[in-house]
Amino acid sequence: MAQGAEEIQRPDQVASDLEQYRRLVELQKQMIELAQQNKLAAQKCDALRERVSAEIIVRRQKRAEASQILHKKLISFLKRFPKFTNTESNLNESKMKEILPC
């Protein structure tokens, strides 16, 4: 009978044990919430990365188009001068690349 009496816990011990479980449950809830926030942040990050990459592609295309337009205008401008209209000194692509850095 002495052992049976020792097995019975006092109310303050039970409350202490329950408090530890309550803290554990609260920590688990916080972990779930943080995991959800992390998932949402990762999705937003991916969306932003896609948007930025698309914007960079568009800017590069515009820059390439502007470079091509400038190249064509320069060739048409240089063709006005007799020195550049000779067949010997006519500008081909390799010479234009030496002259133009773009």
Considering Cα of 62, then 65, then 66, then 67, what sign does the dihedral take?
positive
Give pLDDT tens digits for 54-96. 999 999 999 889 888 988 888 888 888 766 555 444 555 555 5
- Which pLDDT score, from 0 to 100, does residue 42 have? 96
Instruction: For residues 36 and 30, give the distance between their C-alpha atoms in angstroms, rounded to a whole number.
Output: 10
pTM here? 0.49
Write the single-letter amino acid at 66. Answer: A
Looking at residue 88, what DSSP letter applies?
A: S
- Which pLDDT score, from 0 to 100, does residue 20 have? 87
Mean pLDDT (whole number) for 5-22: 71
